[in-house]
Amino acid sequence: MTNTTAKTAEELIADLEQFTGSEIVYRHSLGMLRYTEGVKYLAQATQCYWLLDAIGSYQHRLGSNPRLREFQAWRLVVENKSGTLICEEDTDIEVLRQSIPYTDFPLPEITLYLAQKVLMLPFEY
């Protein structure tokens, strides 16, 4: 794999769009979720393992909501080196919002899906 630290946002997005499915599923260290090859690439390329940690840390609490057991949409919005992490039901109803005081995440926004406890890129859904 090539060094992705020098990639532009456009190059990173193009790389992520190549992930259309995952033959391998990785287990997150918190044990509350698993993630696809595309999410692993994103985490490695942008050093955003903290994002996986944040999503994983909410699973115990959100898992008690029957509307969130099978599907969650997670969106990270970045502006001026700070971010907002938002969890929505599949009906675009916001259920959680977390402020991220500082992030060097290189994209202005990314959406991840958590379907049946597997975190994935939208292209992998």
Q: What is the pTM of this model?
A: 0.89
Measured in whole angstroms, the distance separating CA 64 from the mean position of its chain's CA atoms is: 20
Q: What is the pLDDT of residues 50-101, one digit of tens each?
A: 999 999 999 988 878 888 989 999 999 999 999 999 999 988 899 999 999 9
Give Cα separations from 1 to 5, 15, 80, 116, 119 (angstroms). 12, 11, 30, 29, 22
Joined tokens for residue 9: 């946002």
